[in-house]
Structure 1
Amino acid sequence: MNQPHLDPPEWYASLPTVYASAVVLFTDGSDRVLLVKPNYRPHWSLPGGVVEDGEAPHECAVREVAEELGLSIEVGDLLVVDWVPPGGDRPRSMANYLFDGGEISDLGAVRLQAEELEQAEFVAWEDAVARLPANTRRRIPAARAARRDGRTVYLPGTPEIG
């Protein structure tokens, strides 16, 4: 049985959609990870946010770092791509892109966006894992491995819950 072909606008409208976000990994001279504490949720995170319509993930990362930290950067390598299926309040899959931001030598250069963030702190890699929520914590060891091995890590599937 032949199905009629859809016109391009109808065909594109029929495709599934995915949410996307981008974050940046910064470390300091002691190889500690920069985390930020949003004022609108209880857990810490890496600097970053949701990709806007028509925006590339690396552009989102640059924009979010400028907004949240007051830093003008060029992101480095793509360290981690984390794909998470729909869950909880989120009805669609999420693709997160984690980029290397390099080293920040002076936390005093950071200007926190007061509307969204209440704190920024460098912490040990293990402490960063402990402070992140279960659905994002696996990105930290993956980013460390990606930096060490010089290759992007892909994290498919369902993350640890709890």
Structure 2
Amino acid sequence: MDIVDNIARPAAAAAVLFLDHDGQVLIVEPTYKPRWEIPGGEVEKGETPREACTRVLHHQLRLDLPPGPLLVVDWAPLVREERVRFVFDGGTLTEAQLDRIELAPDVLTSWAFLSPDELFVMMEPRSVRRVLAAIDTRRTGVPAYLESGLPAD
């Protein structure tokens, strides 16, 4: 076996954490899977995670907002592949920005704001842990490194 065959080549995904003025989290309902997520998507070949966020936010929500600072990196191995997930800070959305949201019907059905305590109802536990770590990073200013949604330290 060649040493190159042994090198991890995980897929990457990037998402953005948006809050409202009450500290609730913006989540979206994808058409292609049963659980809700924060806005985001796959990083395409030749694209940085930050560029992916900009592209995906425009496509999914028609929001042209640059992502802010990195909040979380999560090593998220799945049954069929390994994945690195990046979460960036989107800040607090204004009423004017919310009024401009236009869902891409090919990928999203709806959107909502939920309190951090309610996220477990709509999202996978690992995704919720990632979002909660991102919220904590906004408070502390210290980015989080996770493995499967859990602190690696």
The TM-score, its normalising length taken from structure 1, stands at: 0.83
Give the one of 76, 79, 100 matched to 2:71: 79
Query: Normalized per residue, which structure has more helix?
Result: 2
- Which stretch of structure 1 is more off in the superposition, 12-21 or 72-81? 12-21
| Structure 1 position 86, deviation (Å) | 3.5
| Structure 1 position 46, deviation (Å) | 0.5
| Structure 1 position 151, deviation (Å) | 1.4
Amino acid at match of 1:105: T
The number of residue pairs the alignment matches comes to 147
Give the one of 121, 125, 134 matched to 2:116: 125
**Is the contact made by 1:80 and 1:142 (CA closer than 8 Å) also made in structure 2?**
yes
What is the match of residue 29 of structure 1?
Answer: 21
Give the one of 84, 106, 112 matched to 1:95: 84
**Is the contact made by 2:72 and 2:87 (CA closer than 8 Å) also made in structure 1?**
yes
1:90-110 per-position Cα deviation (integer Å, ceiling 9, x unaligned): 2x2110000000111122221
Amino acid at match of 1:101: G
Give, in whole Å, the separation in 1 of the partners of 2:119 and 2:26: 8
Larger radius of gyration: 1
What is the match of residue 135 of structure 1?
Answer: 126
The TM-score, its normalising length taken from structure 2, stands at: 0.88
Structure 1 unaligned spans of 5+: 1-9
Q: CA RMSD in A?
A: 1.8
Amino acid at match of 1:42: P
Give, in whole Å, the separation in 2 of the partners of 1:133 and 1:86: 13
1:43-99 per-position Cα deviation (integer Å, ceiling 9, x unaligned): 100100000011100110111101001010111110010102242xx2x21100000
Give, in whole Å, the separation in 1 of the partners of 2:7 and 2:84: 16
Give the one of 133, 140, 147 matched to 1:149: 140
Amino acid at match of 2:54: V
Structure 2 unaligned spans of 5+: none
Q: Percent identity?
A: 35
Give, in whole Å, the separation in 2 of the partners of 1:103 and 1:150: 16
| Structure 1 position 14, deviation (Å) | 6.0
What is the match of residue 115 of structure 1?
Answer: 106
What is the match of residue 7 of structure 1?
Answer: none
